[in-house]
Each structure stands twice: as structure tokens, then as C-alpha cells.
Amino acid sequence: MNTSYRIPGMVVRDHTFALPLDYANPKQTVSVYAREAVAPGKEDADLPYLVYFQGGPGSGSPRPTLDSGWIMRALQDYRVLLLDQRGTGRSTPITAQTLAGFSGPQAQADYLMHFRADNIVRDAEAIRQQLIGAKPWSILGQSYGGFCAMRYLSASPEGLKEVMITGGIPSLMRPTDDVYRATYRRVVDKNRLYYQRYPDDAALVRNIVDHLRTHAVLLPGGGDLTVQRFLQLGLQFGMSGGFEAVHYLLEEAFVAGADGKQVLNWNFLFHLEQMQNFDTNPIYALLHEACYTQGAASNWSAQRLLAEFPEFAWDGAGPVLFTGEMVYPWMLDAYMQLRPLKEAANILAATAAWPRLYDVDRLKHNTVPVAAAVYYDDMYVHREFSEETAAVVPNMKLWVTNEYEHNGLRAGGDVVLGRLLSMLRGAI
């Protein structure tokens, strides 16, 4: 245990753990950081732990503030452990800088294969044993964190007292292509809803696309703003307020240049770049498709399947459609911090050596109580696949709702977490 400090509403402590990179060959270690939060006056109380698994992959855990939403609700009952999953935040980070010292792309790829949910869960189990020994704890997984929770249930259920999941029940068996076909269909629907709300944006988006097709545009951070990269703004469509975030950005897209002709506004380019965090969170691009792969190669699934959806063509008569939560090989050229990792990313996409993530037979005999929020209109995690998994795993209660989008835990965290706790305790 390291430093301890106070902010209004909580006392925070830092933990850092040296854990094996490869649990089958534990010579090399990585550092894994976790931030513990407890309500003031309860620092020495015998409270149960609630461990939070962040979405992503590739994002650090939330940094608690004065208004920490679900965390404040959790602190009524728990000691909260905010885990920076390996490769993120204050844990040994994965960036172009940290990978530059490897001997080559193959060595980088071999290293990166240790940063999926299977090893994230092994880390959590090692931390549990260090902090509380044999006693089980509770976990909360948001989005990709829910994938980690399902892996935990599959691999080490003895470490779990109860599980809560928000927007993150994965398919247990379906191939990667099934996931991305379903994702494309949902993104088409979100585009339709966006243009229904903001019909005038159809012409504006078309103008931006036409401009980018005929002009080389460099972003403030040095990356290239291609048509494909611009259309990745659709990633916002799965969040509450995402339509507005894109619409208000587009409002300021063009200004008059020195010669009086329209140019893309520097402010627009700056704010667009801030909405795309692939440079700062490279794990997302490098391992996103690997979240689903089990004993097979993804072979850039989203790129291959795009041809099956002509709605995304730029030359159609209708509005140009944004893409969503997909990664593509062209990103390795357009994003500055992904360029040095291009060859490693291609190796990862081509490998079939990914271990299975879920033991379905074991999950069929689950005894750990699970409560999960499934968002009816979720753009990122297919509702039908979540329900398919829940039908296989006993002792799992679902709350299926269209009151929230994928970021329901952030948008209404006290309500969402309170509902899941009531489900676990039999009040609902």
C-alpha cells in the first residue's frame, strides 16, 4: 500500500502489485495498479470489496472526483477497488513508446497476447489473494469489463461472491464475424436515427466527405484525417448524448480560408481529434477483435465484412453512414501512435493461437449470483447475444431496459447500480 489521500466523500489509497506477465512462465513481471476508495470514517471497517472492471479494452479505471456517480452509491456498502487493467493507466502501459524497445514486430505481438481478459482476471485473482486471502469478493464489469467478469466466472468462480455487469455480456461461442455482422446492422440503425434527428447534417457530412476525398488534411497531432477516420465519429452514437456530440462538432466544420474558399476549421479538427483516443489507448485498436477470438484468427473481421453492407459506401444516393465500434487496418496509417505498431497489429490479426476465454460447461453449472443490465438498443454489445449467453448460465438475472444507452453506468450510475444490488438481494 502506498499513498493515501482524501477528497470530499471518500478516502483513497494506492496499491501497486508486481504480477507475472505470463502466469505459465512467471519470470517477467508487470506492474498492476489499483485505487482503493472507502467512505470517510470507514477506513478501518471490515467492508467487503467491490472490484471494478473498466470498459475498453485499453482504458484505465475511472479517476474518482467530487461527483463520482455509481462509486458514491457503492461506497455505502463496499470498499471499492478501481483496477487499472494491465497495459492501462498507472499499470505497466502499452504505448508506441513502451513497445519501441522490443526486438521487432513479432516480439511486440508476442508480448501483447498477454493483455486480454484471461490475464486481467489472473491479475485480479492474484490481487485478491494478496489483499484478503481465500475470502471471495464482489465485482462490477462495465462493457468490456463484463467480458472480464464472464471470464472470471468461467476460470475462477471460487473468488467471487457476486457479480454485476452493465452492457457487457459477451457471446460465449460465436465467431468474431458473427459479432461484427450484428454490430454493422446496429450501426446502420443508429445512423438512421441520427439523420432523423438532424436531417440537415446529411448534406454537411457529404460536403466534409467530398472535401476529404480531394484534400489532404493533417490533424493538429500529426495524424491524417481521411474519410474513414472522419466517419469513425459514429463511435459516439452508442452513448447518451452521442448524437449531440457529433452534431455540435459538425456545426463548426468549415470556415473561410485566406483565399475565401472553404477550409476545415482548425477548432473542428482539434475537437475531432480529442474525440478519438486510439492514439492514447492503442490496446483498443490492437486487441479489440481479439476480445472475441478463441482458437481462430480475426483476420481483420470488420474490414472483411464491410463489403457485405453497401449502405456504408460513400457514393450512394442517401446520407453517408458513420461507422461504429470497429477497428480497421487503415487505422495503422492514419493514427500517429499506431503507425509504429502496424506490423505487430497485422501479426495479431493473423494469429489463431488465442486461447479459449470461456469454459461453457463450467458456466452451465454457475452458482455465483449475477445481476446484469442489458441495454435494449446497445450499439456495442448485441442484446440478442447477451440473452443467448444468459440462457446458458444459471443464477443470472437480467434487467433489459431502453432507458439507458451503453454508458448507463456513467449517465445514471447510482440508479443502475442500485437496481443491480436490489436484484442480487432479492428485492426485485
According to the model, what pLDDT value does residue 274 have?
96
What pTM, to 2 d.p., does this model score? 0.96
pLDDT tens per residue across span 44-68: 999 999 999 999 999 999 999 877 7
- Report d(CA 343, CA 54) in Å as an integer: 28
Res 2: pLDDT: 64
Active site residue 333: no
Q: Element (H or E) spanning 203, and its range?
A: helix 201-214
The amino acid sitting at 420 is: L
Quick one: pLDDT at residue 118?
A: 98
Confidence at residue 297, expressed as pLDDT on a 0 to 100 scale: 98
Annotated catalytic residue, options 114, 211, 382, 406 = 406
Catalytic residue among 118, 123, 279, 378: 378
Highest mean pLDDT among 63-77, 309-323, 360-374: 360-374
Q: Decide if 334 contacts 232 (C-beta within 8 A).
A: no
For residue 190, CA distances in Å to 183, 211, 234, 322 come to 11, 24, 9, 9
Check if the beta carbon of residue 38 is closer than 8 Å to that of residue 47.
Answer: yes
Indicate if the pLDDT at residue 1 is higher than 80.
no
Q: Which of 59, 91, 143, 386 is catalytic?
A: 143
What sign does the dihedral 132-136-149-414 (CA atoms) show? negative
15 is catalytic: no
Per the annotation, the verdict on 200 as an active-site residue is no
pLDDT tens-digit series, residues 391-417: 999 999 999 999 999 999 999 999 999
